[in-house]
Structure formats: C-alpha cells, structure tokens
Amino acid sequence: MNEADAQRVASLLESAGLHPVADAKNAAFLLINTCVVRQQAEDKIYKRLRYTAQLKHRNPDLVIALMGCLVGRIPHEHDALRERFPWIDLFLPPSDVQPLKAYLQEQGFPLPPDMAADDFLPAPLPRSQSGQRIVVHVPAVMGCSHACTYCVIPYRRGREHSRPSADILAEIRSLAGQGVREVVLLGQIVDRYGLDAPGEILLPELLRQTAAIPGILRVRFLTSHPAWITPELIEAVASTPQLCPYFEIPVQAGSDAILAAMRRGYNAADYENLIAGIRAAIPQAGLSTDIIVGFPGETDAMFAETATLMERVAPDMIRIAKYSPRPLTWSSRHLPDDVPEAEKERRRILLETALRERLTHKHAALVGQAVEILVETIEPSGRRHGRTPDYKPVFVDRSSAQPGELIRVRVTWAGPFSLIAEPA
C-alpha cells in the first residue's frame, strides 16, 4: 500500500513539473513515506529524519514532506510531530495527497485538471515520465476494521472502505493505455472488497472485470485473510487465465492459543483446510504467508506448532517478523512483551533456515523446465527480470524481449529465492 501511495505521489510531483534526482542532497523537494508496522521500520524513519535535518540546515529552501503511518489520520498527532520535527514542512496522512496538492497549488505549480479536483480518493493516476511501469499497485480497499491485537494499521490507516469499482476500473483502463501490463489490487483484507459498500461488486467480479481490460496481461491481489477467502474467489482465479495463481495469506502463528490471543478469527486447522482447498482447485497455486515470532506468551511448544504447520503447508515464501509492541494496540497495552529478543531471533532463524532448505530442494526440480514470465525490467547487464505466474523472480540471460512482453524461458539455475533462465 505504501508503494502504491509513493507511486501516486511521484506521479503527482512529475505532473506538477518536478523531476526526480538521484541524490537527496540535490533535491529541492523531499518526501519521506513512512511505515510503523514494526519498531525496526520506525527506527529507520528517525534515522532518515535526522539526515533531512542536516540537509535543511545546509539548504533552508529545501521543502520536506512526511507521509504515511507515522503521520496517521489524527490531526492533534500532527501537532506533536510538528513540535518534534520542526524542519518538516508538510504532513500527509497515509494515502492522502490533499495537503500536497494544496501546497503545489499554493506555490503556483500547474496541476492537470483531474488532479486539481478537491477529492480525497481516487488519488492521481500514476503517469510516470521517468520510465515505463509494467506493474502497478492499485488500492481497492483502504484502511482496516479487523483490529488484530498486535496491529497498528487500523489506528493509522483508519476504518475499512472500498473504493468504487467504477473508479478502480477507469484507473486501470488508463494505466493499460500507458503501457501497464500487470495490476496488483490492494487491500489490508482485499477479499473484503465491496462488503462495506451496498450494491458494489465483490472481489471475484472486480478481478474478472480487471482481467478483461485490453492490454492487462496479469492480475494479482493482496493481502488475503484466511477467514474471508471465498470459494467464488478461488473459482475466479481457477477459471480466469489472467488471474495469477498466487495467494498471499498470512497465518501469523500455528498455535491456536496464540491465534486466539491475536484475535485472528481462525485456528490452524482452518488455515490448513483452506490451503488444501485452494491446492485442490488450483494445483499450481503459489502461496506466501506471514509469521510473527515471539508474540507475548509464545512458549517453545507453541512455536514448534508454527514450525510444523509451515512444514505441512509448505508455503513458497514466509515473511517472518519478530513481535514488537506497537503503540495503541491491545497487545501492547495488556500483554507483557515476555519473549526475550535473543529467543525471537532464534525462532526467526529456525523458520528461515527451514524455508531456505525446503525451497532449495523444491526449486531444484525446476531446472530444465519451461516457465512463463512477464518481463518487467532490463538490468544494466542486459539481463531481463520478471516473475512467474506464482511470483518467483526470474533473471533471463541472452534475451531480447522488451518490458511488458510475456515470454517462455527455460530454467538453467534455481536457488531458494530466485531462478536464472534463458529463452526457451
């Protein structure tokens, strides 16, 4: 979602006549988009902000904007930020470009008419002048109302609401006209698309209509929630060739006690059954999941349940986070952060090592096989980069294919997290 917001801001700035520079030292305008989902991400922002203070000291005309979850949607929190970081000129809540539009208009930058409108959403269409974009993230559901006990997102991005499908589809038609070939529809729980808006179409139909747009070759969606994936959604992916067979479904833990403490709304058996159902309908489906290790009260035995669930479910990717208490969340207010840091790290390494070994073994079978990729970029060495339908990164040697082309390639080397190939 942050990447989508950043793309939109970049497009807005470029439309106003600004151009990207490679080094922040040479910029007249700097915008930092922020994530506070984990303490580590938040610490990174403070480091960057200290650096921007030095830049402002050297160049008092530099305009600095701060966007995203650190800013949040609560106005009195902006005052506190203003006090803490007095060298920042503009504060933008997540996905909200209004303060930036107002600033640009105030400064006399010419905005195209559709961008000068006083709307909150949709944000301006990405219209990069700095390079062809093949893959674009398009927000479908904003915010989240689920309130998992550890999660700060509902406090930062606000309540769940779906964008009108007419706006989303119009935006994607425009993107396709600008050369975009793959669209990723986004939501914190993307499967809930349309449920908050009476009369709106639901995700399976939105995906089908997106896939039918001329020029769009691939469609993905993320992130799914195990309790909200429907048989209709699985059927839409199974029966629509442009819909990539790839599901991002965070499980977070394999222990039912921890899942209950997280208030995730399912247990480990529900998750396993869901994945079995997806694989029965779509045998080639790729699966990615998220795990939090060291949630308050997680014992060795509870962690072992997570590790064995991962062996049984065998995802193609696991994003592993170490629990960190986030301000305002239920877990930070009511549960002691009682798993020592060293133990969290030990658990993280155990999961990562098992994943690496399993994928090394699984991917070895791909050597010599042909796979299809959508070429996204050309590296300075001439190597093409793209992904398989189930989201494995592939680097292609000796290819003359251009970004945006779907090509068949033969795998010549396979590692746990990427493949190397040549034209088939």
Residue (88 or 274) nearer to ligand SF4, CB: 274
144 binds ligand SF4 (CB under 6 A): yes
Q: How far is the CB of 334 from ligand SF4 (least distance, A)?
A: 16
Binding mask 266-295 for ligand SF4 (x = CB under 6 A): ------------------------------
Contact segment (CB under 6 A) with ligand SF4 among 144-152, 307-315, 361-369, 385-393 equals 144-152
Q: How far is the CB of 194 from ligand SF4 (least distance, A)?
A: 17
Contact segment (CB under 6 A) with ligand SF4 among 151-159, 192-200, 206-214, 400-408 equals 151-159
143 binds ligand SF4 (CB under 6 A): no
Of 146, 279, 346, 385, the one binding ligand SF4 (CB under 6 A) is 146
Of 97, 153, 258, 275, the one binding ligand SF4 (CB under 6 A) is 153
* Contact set for ligand SF4, span 35-74 (CB under 6 A): none
Q: How far is the CB of 192 from ligand SF4 (least distance, A)?
A: 9
Contact segment (CB under 6 A) with ligand SF4 among 83-91, 148-156, 279-287, 384-392 equals 148-156
Tokens standing for residue 67: 């966007």
Q: How far is the CB of 190 from ligand SF4 (least distance, A)?
A: 10
Of 188, 224, 324, 331, the one binding ligand SF4 (CB under 6 A) is 188
Q: How far is the CB of 157 from ligand SF4 (least distance, A)?
A: 8
Q: How far is the CB of 178 from ligand SF4 (least distance, A)?
A: 30
Contact segment (CB under 6 A) with ligand SF4 among 57-65, 147-155, 238-246, 368-376 equals 147-155
Tokens standing for residue 134: 């093949």
104 binds ligand SF4 (CB under 6 A): no
Residue type, 247: F
* Contact set for ligand SF4, span 195-234 (CB under 6 A): 225
Q: List residues near ligand SF4 by CB under 6 A.
A: 144, 146-148, 151, 153-154, 188-189, 225
